[in-house]
């Protein structure tokens, strides 16, 4: 490294540290007090710890005072409390107790602590022979207190099957399970996992803790070929007993042609799933041995009953506060079409007070899939999560966070009438996310690419002052605001706008929704028309870049770059027809959309066409490497994070081979899909790939790869043969004299989000772009 590059690394790393130091809000809870105008809020916040190479988790408390005509007041605890070694915390329904989960290292016990307001009331150590660590991810995680706060249901890793034991004589039949100096354990049968980020994790299984006795029991009656998650307690019956559990179940036959295979589930809502009900293991008959899964007509209390047998997808079950309604989301459009994400729908089941396993229940549509939204109107539901208690005080209105074109908004939904209302300001280009609800008050966070997260407190305004559905959102001053003041100063000269981009030369074969304008988020710096621009492309392709704060994007903006963040057709948040217009046309339609967005900003005089770089991750990396091949004169530099460079190679190594067929073949994907694709399929996949255009690439390219990525394995960019890493895509570029730099992060998965790796990857990106856009 020369002296100039060394100085650039030093100055940029100091700047990036300012952005890294700003804590982020993960979740929050609101608790009522004896005073009507007062409540207590608890926030879970995190911050990268680069020295320890993990995320530091803290809890921060606040007392909230609300008066009818006055802005909300918040009184904060003087310091946050660090939760060392804590995986997840879950308050009880009353707020008087707190479950603290400490997942130990692999092979060690899991610690479950029950805290009351003064001390640790109970601590339970769960041995590995019962279950492994609790799931704390956004998909399988399910931790649910019962109403009486005597039992807790949760999802944890099932203990693996015993490994075969051997000694100097041979196989030890019925011998001790413990190893000694004269024996050793084999590997046993390989058990498939759910792919990316779930490697080496045990099957997600359902357990219930009896707090008084400290006993943990596994749920009975769930087939071994099912993974479970998102468990909740059903309401008490008319006799006052709360003994039913409702959960989401994923059967493991979702491979090509319904073969037994677990395809990757991370970021993939197209995996078939259903809601099931089962009795608590502390309520069932002690001799129940049945471990099968029934349909809706089963009468056995010990067998899981499918509540949604005719719907291909059902998840995020939530019971209304009065126990009369069971509401859930569905991604049936994704399951039925093969797109890995699609427009969601919302459904409800009228829950009987004394439900029996042989009682059929029907689901009613609440919010259907929106195919082609009218201009400015509700574009459909796109929810990646749901609050554990999403209900307002009327028992019929729930609050959800959803993508709405290039923003994220908070919606209220009347689950009886189906009325959907946007309750966050319609004139705001910020993105909003609900954190917690108490009565008719919503605690939320709002942010933009140039405004760090700000806590907001929303309340329904009186009808005579503001109208029937008006909401007032107070800005809450918090210690987190002070932590981001320096970042705000660095971004103070930037401006945010959302651009509408007309579809270039729309084909008459396109659906109406596929012909509608798409959008791009534009962040301009001072004198932006003369400054370099970075084109930022999201992955998926069926995901979205919303107008929320991103540490990495804000860092790039602070270096003096304009940012053009393109939500090409196929992005979530624009209606189902626009989304479904992309499968089968990747590498062409999405590439044209990105170039159209760039052309639009050039035509409007917003950017300098000679100073443009491009960056993307996953499918965004696919587009990055496509763009520098198909439009080599347009880009001065590029960076790709775990890019899809060669679909014909990826299909044999990825955890989602169905994705390769879906994006390349569209409606024909299901018919053509095969675990052993013939040559004509491989030709199609290769033709759709960036590697087909590699001979035209000129732009210097920075490749950032995760060594443990199962989604787009590093072999996609680094072909592995005979234990020697051959840089496939990069080697071809070097042969043509193109400058390329590759950084491998051996322990990282697809996101490259281990703190040190994340820091180093964006630091190198900043230096790379400054170097090649002549900013050094």
d(CA 63, CA 177): 53
Catalogue the E-assigned strands of 707-771.
719-721, 724-726, 740-745
Token look-up 């006799």 returns 239
Name the strands in the sheet holding 495-501, side by side, starting at the edge strand that comes first in the sequence: 495-501, 518-524, 562-567, 533-537, 612-617, 637-641, 701-706, 740-745
Of 618, 648, 757, 761, catalytic: 618
Relative to beta strand 420-422, strand 407-414 is: antiparallel
Q: Residue 507: CB partners within 8 Å, gap ≥ 6?
A: none
d(CA 444, CA 409): 10
Alpha-helical runs (H) found in 608-674:
619-630, 647-650, 657-665, 669-672
Token look-up 């014909």 returns 648
What is the H or E stretch that residue 120 is in? strand 120-126
**DSSP reduced 3-state for 39:** strand
Q: Residue 170: CB partners within 8 Å, gap ≥ 6?
A: none
Closest CA to 416 of 470, 343, 349: 349
Instruction: For the chain, report the end-to-end CA distance as a whole number of angstroms.
Output: 14
Token look-up 């692999």 returns 106
| Residues 756-772: b if buried by 16+ CB within 10 A, e if exposed | bbbbbbbbbbbbbbbbb
Return the bridge partners of 705, or none.
Answer: 744
Token look-up 């570029």 returns 733
Residue 394 is classified by DSSP as T
Alpha-helical runs (H) found in 673-754:
679-687, 728-735
Residue 563, judged by CB atoms within 10 A of its CB (0-12, 13-18, 19+), counts as buried
Token look-up 């589930």 returns 265
Backbone angles phi, psi at 119, to 5 degrees: -160, 175
Closest CA to 365 of 377, 354, 381, 349: 349
Dihedral sign for Cα 388, 391, 392, 398, please.
Answer: positive
Of 344, 451, 655, 709, catalytic: 709
Number of helices (H), then strands (E), in the chain:
15, 42
d(CA 314, CA 277): 13
75 in catalytic set: no
709 in catalytic set: yes
Closest CA to 30 of 410, 457, 436: 436
Of 447, 750, 757, 758, catalytic: 750
344 in catalytic set: no
d(CA 553, CA 766): 10
Residue 607 is classified by DSSP as S
Tokens for 306, please give them. 């499918």
Q: What residues act catalytically? A: 618, 709, 750
């Amino acid at each position: 490294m020369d002296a100039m590059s060394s100085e650039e690394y030093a100055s940029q790393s100091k700047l990036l540290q300012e952005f890294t130091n700003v804590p982020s809000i993960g979740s929050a809870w609101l608790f009522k007090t004896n005073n009507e105008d007062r409540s207590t809020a608890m926030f879970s916040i995190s911050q990268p710890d680069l020295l320890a190479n993990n995320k530091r988790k803290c809890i921060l408390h606040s007392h909230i005072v609300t008066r009818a005509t006055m802005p909300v007041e918040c009184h904060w605890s003087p310091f946050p409390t660090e939760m060392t070694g804590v995986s997840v915390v879950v308050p009880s329904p009353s707020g008087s107790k707190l479950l603290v989960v400490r997942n130990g290292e692999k092979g060690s016990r899991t610690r479950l602590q029950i805290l009351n307001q003064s001390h640790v009331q109970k601590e339970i150590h769960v041995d590995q022979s019962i279950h492994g660590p609790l799931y704390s991810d956004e998909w399988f995680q399910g931790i649910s207190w019962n109403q009486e706060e005597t039992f807790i249901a949760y999802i944890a890793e099932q203990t693996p099957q015993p490994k075969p034991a051997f000694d100097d004589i041979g196989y030890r039949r019925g011998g001790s399970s413990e190893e000694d100096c004269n024996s050793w354990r084999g590997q046993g049968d390989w058990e498939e996992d759910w792919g990316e980020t779930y490697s080496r994790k045990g099957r997600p299984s359902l357990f219930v803790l009896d707090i008084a006795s400290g006993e943990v029991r596994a749920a009975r009656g769930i087939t071994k070929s099912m993974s479970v998650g998102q468990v909740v307690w059903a309401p008490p019956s008319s006799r006052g007993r709360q003994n039913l559990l409702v959960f989401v179940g994923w059967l493991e036959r979702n491979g090509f042609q319904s073969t037994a295979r677990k395809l990757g589930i991370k970021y993939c809502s197209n995996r078939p799933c259903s809601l099931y009900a089962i009795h608590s293991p502390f309520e069932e008959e002690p001799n129940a041995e049945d471990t099968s899964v029934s349909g809706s007509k089963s009468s056995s209390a010990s067998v899981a009953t499918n509540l949604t047998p005719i719907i291909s997808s059902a998840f995020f079950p939530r019971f209304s506060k009065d126990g009369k309604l069971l509401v859930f989301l569905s991604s049936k459009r994704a399951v039925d079409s093969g797109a890995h994400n699609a427009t969601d729908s919302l459904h409800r089941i009228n829950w009987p007070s004394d439900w029996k396993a042989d009682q059929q229940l029907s689901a009613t549509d609440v919010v259907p899939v929106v195919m082609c939204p009218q201009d400015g109107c509700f574009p459909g539901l796109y929810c990646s999560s749901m609050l554990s208690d999403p209900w307002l005080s009327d028992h019929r209105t729930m609050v959800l966070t959803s993508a709405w074109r290039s923003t994220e908004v908070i919606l209220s939904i009347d689950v009886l009438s189906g009325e959907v209302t946007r309750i966050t300001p319609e004139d705001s280009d910020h993105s909003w996310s609900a954190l917690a609800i108490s009565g008719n008050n919503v605690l939320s966070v709002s942010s933009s690419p140039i405004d760090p997260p700000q806590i907001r407190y929303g309340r329904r305004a009186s009808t005579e002052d503001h109208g029937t559905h008006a909401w007032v959102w107070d800005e809450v001053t918090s210690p987190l605001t002070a932590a981001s003041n320096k970042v705000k100063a660095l971004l103070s000269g930037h401006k945010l706008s959302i651009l509408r981009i007309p579809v270039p030369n729309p084909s008459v074969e396109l659906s109406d929704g596929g012909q509608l304008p798409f959008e791009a988020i534009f962040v301009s710096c001072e004198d932006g028309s003369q400054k370099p621009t970075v084109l930022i492309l999201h992955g998926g392709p069926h995901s979205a870049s919303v107008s929320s704060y991103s540490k990495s994007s804000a860092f790039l903006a602070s270096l003096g770059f304009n940012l053009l963040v393109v939500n090409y057709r196929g992005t979530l948040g624009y209606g189902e027809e626009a989304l479904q217009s992309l499968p089968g046309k990747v590498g062409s339609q999405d590439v044209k959309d990105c170039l159209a967005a760039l052309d639009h900003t050039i035509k409007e005089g917003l950017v300098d066409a000679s100073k443009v770089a491009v960056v993307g991750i996953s499918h965004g990396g696919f587009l990055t490497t496509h763009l520098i091949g198909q439009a080599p004169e347009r880009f001065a530099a590029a960076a790709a994070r775990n890019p899809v460079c060669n679909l014909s190679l990826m299909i044999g190594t990825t955890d989602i081979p169905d994705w390769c067929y879906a994006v390349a073949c569209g409606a024909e994907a299901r018919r053509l899909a095969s675990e052993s694709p013939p040559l004509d399929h491989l030709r199609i996949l290769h033709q759709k790939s960036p590697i087909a255009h590699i001979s035209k690439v000129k732009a210097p390219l920075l490749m950032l790869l995760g060594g443990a990525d199962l989604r787009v394995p590093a072999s996609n960019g680094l072909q592995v043969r005979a234990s020697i890493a051959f840089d496939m895509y990069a080697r071809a570029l070097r042969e043509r004299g193109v400058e390329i730099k590759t950084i491998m992060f051996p322990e990282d998965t697809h996101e490259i989000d281990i703190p040190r790796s994340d820091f180093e990857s964006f630091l190198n990106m900043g230096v790379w772009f400054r170097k090649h856009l002549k900013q050094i």
